[in-house]
Chains A and B, each alone.
Chain A
Amino acid sequence: MENLNREKIISDLSSHINLNKKFLGWMGLLTILLLICLGAYYQQLTQGLQVTGLNDYVSWGIYLSNFVFFVAASLIGMLMSSVLILSGQHWAKPISRIAEVIAVAFSAIAGLVIVSDMGMPQRLHHVILYGRIQSPILWDITVVNAYLLFSLLLFYVPLIPDLHILSGRFSGKLQILNKIFKVGSLGYQGTEKQKKTIARLTRLLSYGILPLAFGIHTVTSWIFASTTRSGWHSTIFGPYFISGAFVAGVAAVVIVMTVVRKTHKLDQYLKDSHYDKLGKLLLVVSMLYIYFNINEYLVPLYGNKKADAHHLHELFAGKHAFMFWFTQIGCLLIPALLMFFKRFRKIKPLFLISIFVIVGAWLKRYLIVIPTQEHPYLPIQNVTEKALNYQITLEEALVSIAPIILVIMIISVLLKFFPVVPIEESLEEVENHAKN
């Protein structure tokens, strides 16, 4: 009976590891889209950044807001694996690998987003050769890469037991996976000592990644907050960004989880209760983010310094008013309010709400990065009025979509060829249940 149960669990959680047509079609579609976007990048490489809408006023456009969004989304790994699991929220365990995969994908590609913003990417190595140690940008590059390494380890180390369990089970075209998994399992046999080591290392990594994850998004926020521009020069940008990252991250997890649940047939393991808990988590982090939003806008509104007043006017009633209110009300306030009701903490409603939340998260980063640049303290000389209006061009949009496609590809591949729900953990839970 136990063995049958064991076998069923292992089979359920690994049946998606195959090369079916759907997956190949999906990857093929993504590849085609990516190639189109890379064509646009080629235009940018040969003609320079003039193919974008960037100008004298707005020199950081959607490439940068995209980057901030990527760094934000990657924080979900820390939230799930470290904060939740370390504090005993064991319901999050089946979801933690999805969170880590999202974290790995976003932090890996974040650097590429920055490279796409460079007019001369061939000078990238100058950052290391002639880097300015006093620059928050350099600190950001350092922490993002460190976080990527930690997230990779947090993805890999808990995966080792599962690699051991699955090695030897593949046949046909997938035989090569047997070898890869065997090597990857590093000689893990499931002994007590080894289990303890894996648990210890996972716990260590979970603790270690906490300051790093806080660092990654705080340092990203310092890139803006260390300037004196109105709208950016805020002392609370660090916590503001981090709480925003949690909101975006939870929404991302819900979306990926819902898709994977369908395609990998995991409804027995990613249950309604998970959605209910995620909904409550979304509510909590949204409340926190709303709190920071109120601080971020009410305080300069009250002080009404001329430059701040101008910036806030543009957001509340001016050029960016529609985007601002759509994001704040439609994609933050209303989702948070809906999370109070159990009816909306179910699969379909939560999935839909999460799409709004994540779109809102992307738009919010646009609203953080671009409006501030449209009104510097002193006007820029010899520049036409036209430059005050930042208009996204087609090439710019395509080059921004490319990293998103890459992220989706990485998530798809990692969640396709590795078990999504940790197998050994699930087996252990069933065993513990049986014992009790």
Chain B
Amino acid sequence: MRILFTLLTLSLSLISLAEGWTVPEDKKEKNAHFKFDKTSEESGKELYYKNCFSCHGDVGKNNYVKLNPDPGDLSTSEVAKQTDGELYYKLKKGKGLMPSFENSISSDDRWKIIAYIRTFHIGYSQIVELKDETISKDQIALKITKLEGDKFQVTATKELNGKTVKVKSVELELYVKRYFGQLLVDESKATNSEGKAIFSIEKNIPANQEGKITLIAKALNYENLKALQEFEYGFKNIQPPLNQERALWNTVDKAPIWLILGFSFGLLAIGAFIGFILLQLKNLRKQK
């Protein structure tokens, strides 16, 4: 019994060591929307050497830097057996010592790096996820609705032969409108077979003075497809106008009280002093 238990724990720990990096299921299926060709592979090589070489070394030469954990060589079967979507996700998110390249390398460029790495994987054949030409963006409609709690739902539908059809695999990002831009909330999600994607927004997100936020849903894999909707949600943010308070830099009618008082007092003091002197001078004649 004890031997069985020990063996079980050992094997489990071995498995956990090899556990590495799991990628969410819906992200594994993602594929590039263009075919990897010579140009994309060459650009990918340039990008690789600029961004990846410093830790991973040359692909296929095992000259990666000894870190903890090891970055590893990217030509191994471990890497080769992962899907394009998994590699894309890892590049995008990063983990531990590997930085997230979401903001520093564009989406297309990340695919090109993957294109380059794939040239070292024997037996690899690319699955291209070309945009569905039958569905143009004009036909798809997005709708944002509020669910219970902190959940918001975005539905993608299209009109086909007079019938409303749900559209799946529309990659969506949800933003909250801010003063100087848009704040991305939650992660990007693809609509499921029901044509729905659910996002969560924290309950205390700052809203405007009426307690409302404006949500913007944008599709990543369709150009110019978005939806906008206002909701009563979040923390009612009542801020007075910036020039409402008295300040040195504000207009004259909003000058600081201490300054008005100080200046007036100074003038009065000077006036009183001079007045006193003049009065004394006037009475000089009478002093015998």
Contact = CB atoms under 8 A, between A and B. Distances in A.
Interface in B264-280: 266-267, 270, 273-274, 277, 280
A133 B277 contact: no
Contacts of B274: 149-150, 153
Given A157-B281, A186-B285, A134 B248 contact: yes
Interface residues of A, number: 27
B284 A194 contact: yes
B284 A186 contact: yes
Interface stretch (B101-109, B126-134, B252-260): B252-260
A380 interface: no
Contacts of B252: 130-134
Given A133-B252, A146-B270, A153 B277 contact: yes
Contacts of A198: 284
A157 B273 CA distance: 14
Given A149-B270, A187-B285, 13 more contacts: A134-B249, A134-B252, A134-B256, A149-B274, A150-B274, A160-B284, A186-B282, A187-B286, A188-B284, A189-B288, A191-B287, A194-B287, A204-B277
B269 to A, nearest CB: 9
Closest 5 CB pairs of A and B: A187-B285, A193-B287, A146-B270, A186-B284, A133-B255
Contacts of A142: 263, 266-267
Given A142-B267, A153-B277, A201-B281, A134 B259 contact: yes
Most buried by B among A132, A187, A205: A187
A186 B282 CA distance: 7
Nearest to A145: B270
Contacts of A139: 263
A212 interface: yes
B281 A208 contact: no
Secondary structure type dominating chain B contacts? helix
20 contacts: A131-B252, A133-B263, A139-B263, A142-B263, A142-B267, A146-B270, A150-B274, A160-B281, A186-B282, A186-B285, A187-B285, A189-B288, A191-B288, A197-B280, A197-B287, A201-B277, A201-B280, A201-B281, A204-B277, A205-B277
A212 B271 CA distance: 13
A189 B288 CA distance: 8
B249 to A, nearest CB: 8
A194 B248 CA distance: 48
B218 to A, nearest CB: 36
A134 B257 CA distance: 11
Interface residues of B, number: 23
Contacts of A188: 284-285
Interface in A205-250: 205, 208, 212
Most buried by B among A133, A150, A189, A208: A133
B284 A187 contact: yes
A206 B281 CA distance: 16
Nearest to A132: B252
Interface string A177-202: 00000000011110101100110010
Contacts of A153: 274, 277
Contacts of A132: 252
Contacts of A150: 274
Interface in A377-416: none
A149 B248 CA distance: 29
A212 B249 CA distance: 26
Nearest to B281: A186
A126 B27 CA distance: 70
A354 B258 CA distance: 43
Given A134-B259, A146-B270, A197 B284 contact: yes
A189 B286 CA distance: 10
A149 B267 CA distance: 13
Interface in A134-173: 134, 139, 142, 146, 149-150, 153, 157, 160
A194 B286 CA distance: 9
A133 B259 contact: yes
B185 to A, nearest CB: 37
A382 to B, nearest CB: 27
A150 B273 CA distance: 10
Contacts of A197: 280, 284, 287
Contacts of B286: 187
Contacts of A208: 273
Nearest to A139: B263
A134 B285 contact: no
A112 B234 CA distance: 61
A191 to B, nearest CB: 5
Contacts of B281: 157, 160, 186, 201
Nearest to A185: B284
A188 B280 CA distance: 12
B255 A157 contact: no
A153 B275 CA distance: 11
Contacts of B282: 186
Given A133-B255, A134-B259, A212 B288 contact: no
